[in-house]
């Protein structure tokens, strides 16, 4: 059921209004690709983007952020947490990335609330945009059941116009009162008609057919497949090519691991404790003082990542640990491909 219809110019006007209140981050064309970037005007966004090279996770979980600042004074110290709460709107988030953000939300909420993430998240509004067809080759979001999202956004836009039309007409679904208020307070758009609903149904039917299945098994069969594959020789065989460069981790929207580092100024009396993205493919990730490494070989690290994505995260959170965006596969200069790995493992049994 649609909540509202918006024309493209209406949407841009709404975004421009939003820009008065929030930093706007959305897809921008650069180097012939799309990237999530901060813009000042709605027209700088390109909502017809196919996919963004990197997910929007950096807007919520930045590559490096300060946890607290400290000061050492006469023998003791004081420390002050740094909570960065710039109101933000992520405009143009695809369903896969919405699923990934839901996972981050869960992880940073679970057990102990991590306010560095959660405060930023609370100040972030998400305007989703649905994909009617795969954004690019190699994605397996349909297999992961993440090519559509029914929650995790404030507003979802369905680009309902025919592909030939010059300007899309968006079917709008509200996810939260924040999203609804944005559209309604803005007094833009109109109430959907029965025709709109029919177009929307048609859109959904087309969509189902448009996504090819890449995996030989269903997402919920992956944990069992991996259970059987712990000792497969495939890990080592594939990882022979692995640079341990971590590009797969760092471009993945569901990777949330981080390192913690201290930085000081030249006087040494003040400083910051920072967290920065880390990745389980990096050699030192599981190394302890004295040099023992719990995952010393690229093969064990590759296995760890794949298990996390397809089994352990789901096991711990009930949410998909991989959203099928294939960013890891594209980022890997060694052309190590997760779909290929799953399918090869399936062959073994």
Partner 1 sequence: MKPRIAIFSLTGCEGCSLAILELEDQLLDLLGAVDIVNFREGMTDRAWDIDIGFVDGAVSTPEDEKEVRHFREHCKVLVAIGSCACLGGINTLKHYQGATGPKGRGAIGENGSDAYRRYVYGDKAEWFPTTEARPISAVVKVDYELPGCPMVKEEFLAFVTSLLAGRTFKLPDFAVCVECKKRGTLCLYEKGILCLGPVTRAGCNAICPAFGSKCEGCRGIVSKEALVAAGINLREQYNVELQEVLDDLRLYGAYQEADLP
Partner 2 sequence: MLAPPIPYKPTNAELYLPKPARILRITQLTEMEKHYELAFLDGHRLNHQPGQFVQVSILGVGECPISICSSPTRPDTFELCIRRAGSVTNRIHALREKDIIGIRGPLGHGFDVTEMHGKDILMIAGGLGMAPLRSLVQYVLDERPRFGQFHLLYGCREPKELLFTDDLTRWRESGDVNLKITVDRPDEQWRGRVGVVTTLFADLPKLNPQDTVVVIVGPPVMFKFVVIEVLARRIPQSSIYCSLERRMKCGIGKCGHCQANHVYVCIDGPVFKYGQLKAMREAME
Ligand X SMILES: Cc1cc2nc3c(=O)[nH]c(=O)nc-3n(C[C@H](O)[C@H](O)[C@H](O)COP(=O)(O)OP(=O)(O)OC[C@H]3O[C@@H](n4cnc5c(N)ncnc54)[C@H](O)[C@@H]3O)c2cc1C
Residues of this chain that interact with ligand SF4 (CB under 6 A) are 242-248, 252-254, 281, 309, 322-328, 331-334, 336, 338
| Binder of residue 195, out of partner 2, partner 1, ligand X, none (CB less than 5 to 8 A by kind) | none
Site residues for partner 2, 163-192, by CB under 8 A, read: 178, 181-182, 185-187
Site residues for partner 1, 62-101, by CB under 8 A, read: 63-64
**Shortest Cβ 266–partner 1 spacing (Å):** 4
**Shortest Cβ 332–partner 2 spacing (Å):** 20
**Shortest Cβ 226–partner 1 spacing (Å):** 24
Binders of partner 1: how many residues, by CB under 8 A? 39
Binding mask 29-68 for partner 1 (x = CB under 8 A): -xx-x-x-----------------xx---x----xx----
Write the secondary structure of the chain as one string of H (helix), E (strand) and C (coil).
CCCEEEEHHHHHHHHHHHHHHCEEEEEEEECCEEEEEEECCHHHCCCCCCCECCCCHHHHCCCEEEEEEEEEECCEEEEEECCCCCCEEEEEECHHHHHHHHHHHHHHHCCCCCHHHHHHHHCEEEEEECCCCCCCCCCCCCCCCCCCCCCCCCEEEEECCCCCCCCCEEEEEECCHHHHHHHHHCCCCECCCHHHHHHHHHHHHHHHHHCCCCCCCCHHHHHHHHHHCCCCCHHHHHHCCCCCCCHHHHCCCCCCCEEEEEEECCCCCEEEEEEEECCCCCCCCCECCCCCECCCCHHHHHHHHHHHHHHHHHHHHCCCCCCCCCHHHHHCCCCCCHHHHHHHHHHHC
Site residues for partner 2, 62-121, by CB under 8 A, read: 67-68, 70, 72, 75-77, 79, 81, 83, 85, 87, 107-108, 110-116, 118-119
**Shortest Cβ 326–ligand SF4 spacing (Å):** 5
Determine if 191 is a binding residue for ligand X (CB under 6 A).
no
Site residues for ligand X, 269-288, by CB under 6 A, read: 288
Determine if 233 is a binding residue for partner 2 (CB under 8 A).
no
């Amino acid at each position: 059921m649609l909540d509202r219809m918006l024309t493209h110019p209406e949407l841009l006007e709404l975004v421009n209004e939003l820009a008065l209140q929030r930093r706007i981050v959305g897809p921008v064309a650069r180097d012939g690709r799309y990237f999530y970037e901060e813009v000042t005007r709605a027209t700088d966004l390109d909502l017809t983007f196919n996919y963004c090279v990197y997910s929007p996770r950096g807007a919520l979980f930045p590559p490096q952020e300060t946890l607290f600042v400290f000061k050492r004074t006469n023998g003791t110290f004081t420390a002050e947490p740094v909570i960065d709460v710039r109101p933000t709107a992520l405009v143009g988030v695809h369903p896969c990335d919405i699923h990934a953000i839901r996972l981050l939300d869960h992880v940073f909420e679970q057990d102990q609330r991590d306010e560095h993430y959660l405060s930023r998240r609370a100040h972030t509004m998400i305007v989703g945009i649905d994909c009617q067809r795969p954004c690019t080759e190699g994605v397996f979001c349909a297999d992961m059941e993440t090519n559509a999202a029914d929650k995790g956004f404030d507003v979802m836009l369905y680009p309902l116009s025919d592909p030939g039309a010059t300007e899309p007409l968006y079917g709008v679904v509200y996810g939260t009162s924040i999203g609804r208020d944005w559209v309604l307070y803005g007094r833009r758009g109109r109430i959907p008609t029965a025709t709109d609903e029919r177009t929307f149904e048609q859109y959904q039917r087309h969509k189902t057919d448009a996504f090819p299945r890449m995996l030989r098994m269903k997402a919920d069969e992956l944990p069992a497949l991996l259970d059987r594959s712990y000792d497969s020789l495939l890990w080592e065989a594939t990882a022979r090519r692995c640079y341990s460069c971590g590009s797969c981790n760092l471009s993945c929207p569901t990777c949330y691991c981080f390192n913690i580092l201290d930085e000081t100024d030249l006087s040494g009396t003040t400083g910051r404790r920072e967290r920065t993205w880390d990745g389980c493919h990096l050699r030192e990730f599981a190394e302890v003082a004295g040099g023992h490494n719990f995952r010393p070989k690229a093969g064990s690290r590759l296995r760890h990542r794949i298990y996390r994505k397809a089994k352990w995260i789901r096991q711990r959170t009930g949410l998909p640990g991989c959203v099928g965006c294939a960013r890891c596969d594209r980022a890997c200069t060694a052309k190590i491909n997760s779909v290929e790995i799953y399918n090869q493992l399936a062959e073994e049994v």
